[in-house]
Each structure stands twice: as C-alpha cells, then as structure tokens.
Amino acid sequence: MENQHLADSLETCLEQLNRQAVIAYPTEAVFGLGCDPDSESAVMALLALKQRPVEKGLILIAADYTQLEPYISARELSVIQRERMFACWPGPVTFVVPVPPQTPRWLTGQFDSLAIRVSDHPDVQALCRAFGKPLVSTSANLSGLPPCRTAEEVKQQFGEQFPVSVGKNRWAAQSL
C-alpha cells in the first residue's frame, strides 16, 4: 500500500510540474520546493511563495550531470573542476559553475553562474528522471520558519492541497 501511495504522489507531482506549478519533495537533508526551470511563471511563483528576491539566484537539482548541461558552460570547467564535481556526485554537494548567456536570469539572478547538484536521493532521482530534466530547488519553508523535514510539516506550512512527494528525507529517516 505504501508503494502505491509513493507512486501516486510522484504522479501527482509530475502532473503539477507539467502545469507549471510548484511542488515539494524530500532531499538529502530537508524537504525542497521545486519547479520547472524553463518556466518563468513557475519560478516566479516559487520565489513569491518563498518571498525570495530573483537577484539571489537558485539551485538546479538533477538525476545526472547530463540534465544540467543545457544550463551551464561545461567547456569553461577545467579537468580538475570536473573531477572534483564527479567525485562528490551523486550526493548532497552543490557546486557553482559558469553559465552561457542564454541561461535565464530567473535562474541565475544577478550572477553569471548557477548552483547545481546531482542528487543521490531516490525521490529526487525519480522525479528528475520522470520529468526529463532538473528541478529548481530551494528549502521548503515559508520566510522566517524552519525548513520542513516531513511531508506533514510541508502540509502545515503550505496547506493540505500542496503537491508533495511523500518519501522521506534522509535526516528524518536517521532521526527515527
């Protein structure tokens, strides 16, 4: 029964992503808020929800490095920089890398770079693979409140109807 519930939440989140909506999902540490990085309206909705200025820039989280390549200037990375990234991925480490001019400013903010991560969390992997690209990622919490560590906390902060992938973040699983 739990596997069906997880599959249903994944399907619901994919439907919402395809509708340019914001979703919540578990990550390595806390629940994250995410959306389609190619949808300016979805990113603006996420930023409004978080009360976060666009100038700060965002993080993209992916299932694998190839999902990130359209958004970054991979040729500008040295062999050593690539080796360092690939030694940490998949995993909870985020890197800031240069971007080409066509990367949307709603992702980079005031910077000519972008924060990126290849996650090893199974729910993030499943979402990004099923969606076919990375997600914008930021902690799931309203301004001034602590980040959500459970699906229940997401529902408390964002409402019962907010789309949530109901897997567990690793922190919550370890603290039980």
* Model pLDDT for residues 129-154, shown as the tens digit of each residue: 999 999 999 999 988 899 999 999 99
Could you tell me if residue 146 is inside a domain?
A: yes
Q: Is 138 helix (H, G, I), strand (E, B) or coil?
A: strand
* Paired sense of beta strands 113-118 and 59-62, if any: parallel
**Counting Cβ atoms within 10 Å, is residue 84 exposed (0-12), middle (13-18) or buried (19+)?**
middle
- For the chain, the domain total comes to 1
Could you tell me if residue 176 is inside a domain?
A: no
Give yes or no for residue 61 having a pLDDT over 60.
yes
Domain range spanning residue 94? 1-158
Give the amino acid at 120.
Answer: D
Could you tell me if residue 71 is inside a domain?
A: yes
Query: What are residue 18's phi and psi, to 5 degrees?
Result: -70, -20
Give the amino acid at 110.
Answer: Q
**CATH no. for residue 4?**
3.90.870.10
**107 dihedral zone (left: phi>0; alpha: psi -120 to 50; beta):** alpha
- The verdict on pTM exceeding 0.85 is yes
Could you tell me if residue 169 is inside a domain?
A: no
Could you tell me if residue 47 is inside a domain?
A: yes
Could you tell me if residue 72 is inside a domain?
A: yes
Could you tell me if residue 93 is inside a domain?
A: yes
Q: How confident is the model over 8-29, as a mean pLDDT? A: 91
Q: Which of 4, 29, 12, 2 is nearest to 127 (CA)?
A: 12
CB atoms within 10 A of CB 151: 22
pLDDT in tens, 77-98: 999 999 999 999 999 999 999 9
Could you tell me if residue 112 is inside a domain?
A: yes
